[in-house]
Structure 1
Amino acid sequence: GAYGVEAASRRYFGKSARDVTLSEAALLAGLLKAPSRLSPARDPKAAEERSQLVLAAMRDEGKISAKEMTSAMSAPATRAPSYWTGSENYVADTIMEELPDLIGDVRGDIVIDSTVDLNLQKLAEQSIRRLIDESGKKLNVTQGALVSIDDSGAVRAMVGGYDYSTSQFDRASEARRQPGSAFKPFVYMAALEAGRTPDSIRNDAPIKIGNWTPDNYGGKYFGKVTLATALAKSLNSVAAQLTMEVGPNAVVEAAHRMGIQSDLIANTSIALGTSEVTPLELTSAYVPFANGGYKPDIHFIRRVTTTEGKVLYDSGGGSAPRVVKPEIVGMMNSMMTGTVEIGTARKAAFAWPSAGKTGTSQNSRDAWFVGYTANLTTGVWFGNDDGSAMKKVTGGALPAQAWHEFMVAAHEGVPVRPLPGTWKSTPADTIVPDEIPAANNTAPVPSTSVGQQAPARPAAPVAQAPVRAARPAQTVDADGPS
């Protein structure tokens, strides 16, 4: 894509900067101060107010007459129809926000090589829109988002909502929502790092922690189960037990280490995903499971050059730090494969080895599936902007279906690769119960400095999105089979 006055003119108005009207020229001039914040897509009122200031300044400088100013103010700029549709504009807005931090003030036209694959972007948009078109009214679902990231941290597709032309708010990077059980992998990861294994056994039964009772979906309990089974079936009581064992602080540390950026509340209910996160950051935090334990910088921009070819920014080179040991990655991948094969995400399964986790917040306000292959990590969210409940939509339903549709198409013709890790389950009759320590909210956290590096791209920082007004914390995760 291109960036600059000419590029902005073609993007917003569908014509060359040589052909714009006075009102359109004023709007373009107004963008120079803050290209993203004053975008007519993101804030039409602010863009219009800024353009009127530009027109007044032109009159004061004698560049135009008072009559010309009045005429331009009463003739709003004509929008280019192609700009106001298409989910790729969510990506373009994010790139506009990131550019100043990468190359400083832009003095001329530049060319941006984005990491986003337009074919994948269209597939992602189609999968979200089709399901809402088919089931939205029946299930009270009005919005969805999808993010897909490769092992190097390059964002390959990002859809921020059902229709960019009606809402430019990017739910993928800006909407903080409760992830429900999609947060549980960080609980289990912390438990494995503290010495548990997928074969460790816990008693899945009703429990009470203070005034909190973490009920299972549907009130069903399974008695003695392995951790692998507990994660595949998304059993809330076991996740709560593990959080008490290792301590909420260890869970928070694990989540932040993997890529969660939002503030997290270190209490026991964190086991069920009560702290809000964005789809972009939750998806990025699953990437180390897919690439063998490394945390790459998440980026949308591969390279920036001038129109003459001079390189202003290049994301290539560098390395990503290891944030989780290979044996832990192997155990986590073994367990989360079970979610797709026998657990709550069976609708997501396809020909590639895949793993992931569903999530559903209380009363079906949010439904998630974040899953991955050795090729792509993709997160899907469905819900409503006002936080109203959907009609019994769980992560194993619409999100898993959208994920499946997108990933099948995205992997067409790509050679199959296995997930990292070689962990194998112990035969059931030889499992020895591990020693369960007393609850300790200040349990030591395993060291993450294991001195290994892997090639990856140092990338642009993830855009810091405005925080959505938080709903009161919910304390019961509602994830279950669909």
Structure 2
Amino acid sequence: MSKRGERLTNKNKRGSRRAASERAKSGSGGGSSSGKKRLSRSGKSKKEGEPGEPSFLWKWTKRITLWGGAAALLGAIFLAFAVGFAARSIPSFYQLKASQTGQTILVRARDGTEIVEIGPSFGNWLEYDEIPENMRNAMIAVEDKRFESHYGIDPIRLTGALVEGVTGARSRLGGTSTISQQLARNLFLSSNRTFDRKAREAVLAMALEWRFSKEQILELYLNKVYFGGGAYGVDSASRKFFSHPGTELSVAEASIIAGLVKAPSRYSPTADTQAAVDRAQVVLRLMREQGYITSEQASVDVDTVELKQQSGQNSVRYFTDWALPQLDILLPETNAPLEVWTTLDVGMQRAATAAIDSNTPDGSQGALVSLDRDGAILALVGGTDYVETNFNRATNAMRQPGSSWKLFVFLAALEAGYTPDDRVVDTPVTIDGWSPRNSNGRNVGETDLRTAFAYSINTVAAQLGNEVGFGTVASMARRFGVTSPISTFPSMVLGSSEVRLIEMTRAFAAVSAKGTAVEPYGIVRVQTADGEVIYEHESARETQLVPDYVAAGITDLLQAAVQTGTGRAAQIGRPVAGKTGTTSSNKDGWFVGFSSGITTGVWMGRDDARAVPGLQGGRAPAQAFSAYMRYAVKDRAVEEFDVELNLPEWRLEPDEEALFGDPDDYYFIDEQGNLIEPGRRDPSSPDFDIEGERPPPVAEPPPAVSEDFLEEAIGAPVSGDGPRNEPRAPPAPPPRPPPDGERVDDDFLDAL
């Protein structure tokens, strides 16, 4: 037997003796059931009930738990140190109470003129006990219902938001800030939505909770939170909106003020009364659900709240409301006083305000945006009265553009190969069950593209949109700066997708710039009180949106619309190009156009989208455009539009070939593929007779030998015209044709 076999035999014997010994021990313990055995994975027998080796999943679960616990412990320690350090760095309650929230911002026009100084408006500081209980409860109910129980951040609210974000129920993580977090942001941070800022906000909120009591935090918050219109604190807001101190706020008034924090501009009672009322009803419902008020108190009619009557204010605030929030993005975090130099022209702003006021139909609103050739905003009017309503219709309102949208339809058609002179047919058309009709109810039949655009023929626009593709039209609008959602249903060619006035004005400005992208901007530079420049506008890289010939073609069409079409009321005594727009039932009226490098868009209509009798783009909006532009361009040179269509070579395909000069002067290839020299064309060919003229007959070839030789050879005279016994000299050989590519000169042709 081999040594290996002996080792295995000895091993088996030892195993048998060990097993017998174990059985003996087991037997001595009584109970046969306890002596049952089972094999482990290693082959060793184990008593039943004895634990086996841990599984792979159990090992990693244990490791993850241990490491996760260690990481959580370290994170908690780090967070505690961070919160403790922040708490020690936070100023005292009395220092925070004395500090001013917000910045003083001096806004200047493009010429340096001071146009407005914007800063915080503070009322009297109200102690915690002086703030009406309903005001405190309303703010807690709508902003942070677990304010009394959390430690700066609300884990339940945060977890719910994270779950919604993971499951897709919420597009972004928002609405999770507690009152403590909002106070930390207002006191120490900016409003930038970055992870770093949110993390610092959470740490500072917990530090505030560590440092101050709940009553102190709520007192600071209600005296420093921004309620819109420059008002900080409940006392300032109460005086601004209701003409009385904050100590006298009713339940209904408190619900209105508490509802402002989410969006001061949107829910301001001076901007949109109905929106403010609807938001207040939400606050009252939450207060009732959380037990702060009874059902009878929750049913209070907030419509009966008397608002403070305010006098009119310069419309420049529409511009500053649009431009100044951009400072949060353009500048680093700073609370220092600032001077902001803008693109606004004071004279043009006055002219724009007057044009809107004098031309807007009664009961309607009007808006105007005017851009310089580089995108600088020269004037911006968002409504007829800023104090009555500070809702900015120039930059925020979404309205249907009507036929002004045809700009993108015809741009797509021109890029696809059409020209302004191409023939189109105005005829009834149905596309996917949609049958557009013209405003006059008639069809003119065959016309050209220029006329169809000038007179805003709907059926032609529908056919063009269907031909180039509605997605192509939408892509063209995107290319020209429209960021609003765009429908691709057939009716979109007539302007059924809602857009903002500033977007349409930007698109027309790009056409004025010969197809180059234009980005609207309002801030030129920002400097501190001591003159340090901390921001300066830089021109964007030039981007060509469409070829030059497409820009020239659409400018031709836009000019025709003002010269002879629907936009004749927009004429100002110099070249103007533009387009009208009117929606169904005259709910919206538009005119957008340009002249001498200035592009201006005008919109008119009602905020509730009700019809306005007689409101058409070619009337009041075009008249307001004309009134403003006469002032805006008065100091600018008259500029003629470039409407010459310099089509690329690939677009220049001749309809037929043409010959120049005598056809016999050209080489050609016959049907057999033979090269035929000039003057050797077949007289019997039907192509030989050109314009009724035949070339002179070709001379016969000379004889091979002389007549004397022939007479001697045949023994008889040979008839001929030349002298006898005198051989003719052979003619000179014809000149050789020039090499390919060289010019055929006259001497060569004469020799033939």
Q: Same fold (TM over 0.5)?
A: yes
Contact 1:357/1:370 (8 A) holds in 2: yes
Contact 2:316/2:381 (8 A) holds in 1: yes
The offset of 1:414, in angstroms, is 1.5
* Letter paired with 1:121: Q
Give the match's secondary structure for 1:289. Answer: helix
* Letter paired with 2:624: A
Contact 1:291/1:420 (8 A) holds in 2: no
Q: Are 1:379 and 2:601 counterparts?
A: yes
Q: Are 1:102 and 2:319 counterparts?
A: no
Give the match's secondary structure for 1:313. Answer: strand
Q: Deviations over 1:167-199 (max 9, x none)?
A: 000000110000010000100000111111111
The offset of 1:224, in angstroms, is 0.3
Among candidates 313, 319, 323, match of residue 91 of structure 1: 319
Among candidates 100, 103, 115, match of residue 5 of structure 1: 103
- 1:391-430 mapped onto 2 (5 Å cutoff): 391-423=613-645
Give the match's secondary structure for 1:399. Answer: helix
Aligned-residue RMSD, C-alpha: 3.5
Seen in structure 2, the aligned counterparts of structure 1 residues 423 and 7 have a Cα distance that, compared at 3 Å, is same
- Hey, what's the Cα distance between the residues in 1 that align with 2:319 and 2:186? 20
Q: Deviations over 1:246-280 (max 9, x none)?
A: 00011011111011111101121111000000101
- Hey, what's the Cα distance between the residues in 2 that align with 1:31 and 1:130? 44
Among candidates 328, 341, 354, match of residue 113 of structure 1: 341
The offset of 1:205, in angstroms, is 1.3
- 1:227-376 mapped onto 2 (5 Å cutoff): 227-376=449-598
Give the match's secondary structure for 2:542. Answer: strand
Aligned twin of 1:216: 438
* Letter paired with 1:129: D
Aligned twin of 1:428: none
TM-score, normalised to structure 2's length? 0.48
Among candidates 167, 170, 180, match of residue 392 of structure 2: 170
The offset of 1:96, in angstroms, is 2.3
Seen in structure 2, the aligned counterparts of structure 1 residues 232 and 189 have a Cα distance that, compared at 3 Å, is same
Among candidates 356, 369, 391, match of residue 147 of structure 1: 369
Q: Please identify which structure carries the higher helix content.
A: 2
Give the match's secondary structure for 1:218. Answer: coil
Aligned twin of 1:22: 124
* Letter paired with 1:198: P
Q: Deviations over 1:348-375 (max 9, x none)?
A: 0112211011000110000000011132
- Hey, what's the Cα distance between the residues in 2 that align with 1:229 and 1:198? 9
- Hey, what's the Cα distance between the residues in 1 that align with 2:452 and 2:375? 30
The offset of 1:22, in angstroms, is 2.9
- Hey, what's the Cα distance between the residues in 2 that align with 1:365 and 1:16? 38
Contact 2:234/2:246 (8 A) holds in 1: no
* Letter paired with 1:102: L
- Hey, what's the Cα distance between the residues in 2 that align with 1:389 and 1:180? 14
Contact 2:235/2:246 (8 A) holds in 1: no
Seen in structure 2, the aligned counterparts of structure 1 residues 290 and 71 have a Cα distance that, compared at 3 Å, is closer
Aligned twin of 2:352: 124
Aligned twin of 2:228: 40
- 1:436-475 mapped onto 2 (5 Å cutoff): none
The offset of 1:324, in angstroms, is 1.4
Give the match's secondary structure for 1:216. Answer: coil
* Letter paired with 2:229: A
- Hey, what's the Cα distance between the residues in 2 that align with 1:337 and 1:6? 46
Give the match's secondary structure for 1:312. Answer: strand
| Structure 1 gap ranges (5+) | 54-69, 426-431, 434-482
Give the match's secondary structure for 1:237. Answer: helix
Seen in structure 2, the aligned counterparts of structure 1 residues 115 and 50 have a Cα distance that, compared at 3 Å, is farther
Q: Are 1:226 and 2:324 counterparts?
A: no
* Letter paired with 1:264: I
Seen in structure 2, the aligned counterparts of structure 1 residues 303 and 80 have a Cα distance that, compared at 3 Å, is farther
Seen in structure 2, the aligned counterparts of structure 1 residues 277 and 30 have a Cα distance that, compared at 3 Å, is farther
- Hey, what's the Cα distance between the residues in 2 that align with 1:388 and 1:191? 33
Seen in structure 2, the aligned counterparts of structure 1 residues 381 and 373 have a Cα distance that, compared at 3 Å, is same
- Hey, what's the Cα distance between the residues in 2 that align with 1:399 and 1:220? 25
- Hey, what's the Cα distance between the residues in 2 that align with 1:353 and 1:288? 17
Contact 1:4/1:110 (8 A) holds in 2: no
Contact 2:106/2:118 (8 A) holds in 1: no
Seen in structure 2, the aligned counterparts of structure 1 residues 15 and 115 have a Cα distance that, compared at 3 Å, is closer
Seen in structure 2, the aligned counterparts of structure 1 residues 303 and 281 have a Cα distance that, compared at 3 Å, is same
Give the match's secondary structure for 1:189. Answer: helix
Give the match's secondary structure for 1:203. Answer: strand
The offset of 1:320, in angstroms, is 2.3
Seen in structure 2, the aligned counterparts of structure 1 residues 327 and 39 have a Cα distance that, compared at 3 Å, is farther
Give the match's secondary structure for 1:231. Answer: helix
- Hey, what's the Cα distance between the residues in 1 that align with 2:616 and 2:454? 15
The offset of 1:6, in angstroms, is 3.6
Aligned residues: 391
- Hey, what's the Cα distance between the residues in 1 that align with 2:125 and 2:119? 14
Contact 1:190/1:254 (8 A) holds in 2: yes
- Hey, what's the Cα distance between the residues in 2 that align with 1:414 and 1:100? 35
Q: Deviations over 1:419-445 (max 9, x none)?
A: 2442399xxxxxx99xxxxxxxxxxxx
The offset of 1:16, in angstroms, is 9.0
The offset of 1:142, in angstroms, is 1.4
Q: Deviations over 1:200-227 (max 9, x none)?
A: 2111011111221110002021110111
Contact 1:14/1:80 (8 A) holds in 2: no
Q: Deviations over 1:325-354 (max 9, x none)?
A: 111111111111000000000000112211
Give the match's secondary structure for 1:320. Answer: coil
> Taking every aligned residue pair, what percent have the same amino acid on both sides?
33
- Hey, what's the Cα distance between the residues in 2 that align with 1:200 and 1:294? 25
Aligned twin of 1:200: 422
Contact 2:453/2:557 (8 A) holds in 1: yes
Contact 1:100/1:106 (8 A) holds in 2: no
Give the match's secondary structure for 1:211. Answer: coil
More off after superposition, 100-109 vs 182-191: 100-109
Seen in structure 2, the aligned counterparts of structure 1 residues 177 and 31 have a Cα distance that, compared at 3 Å, is farther
Seen in structure 2, the aligned counterparts of structure 1 residues 208 and 305 have a Cα distance that, compared at 3 Å, is same
- Hey, what's the Cα distance between the residues in 1 that align with 2:613 and 2:537? 43
Q: Are 1:182 and 2:404 counterparts?
A: yes
Q: Deviations over 1:140-171 (max 9, x none)?
A: x4101000011101111110001001000000
Aligned twin of 1:450: none
Contact 2:474/2:488 (8 A) holds in 1: yes
- Hey, what's the Cα distance between the residues in 2 that align with 1:322 and 1:103? 30
The offset of 1:298, in angstroms, is 1.2
* Letter paired with 2:451: T
Contact 2:349/2:379 (8 A) holds in 1: yes
The offset of 1:23, in angstroms, is 5.1
Seen in structure 2, the aligned counterparts of structure 1 residues 38 and 179 have a Cα distance that, compared at 3 Å, is farther
Q: Deviations over 1:274-309 (max 9, x none)?
A: 000010111111111111111122101111111111
Larger Rg: 2
Seen in structure 2, the aligned counterparts of structure 1 residues 152 and 15 have a Cα distance that, compared at 3 Å, is closer
Contact 2:337/2:528 (8 A) holds in 1: yes
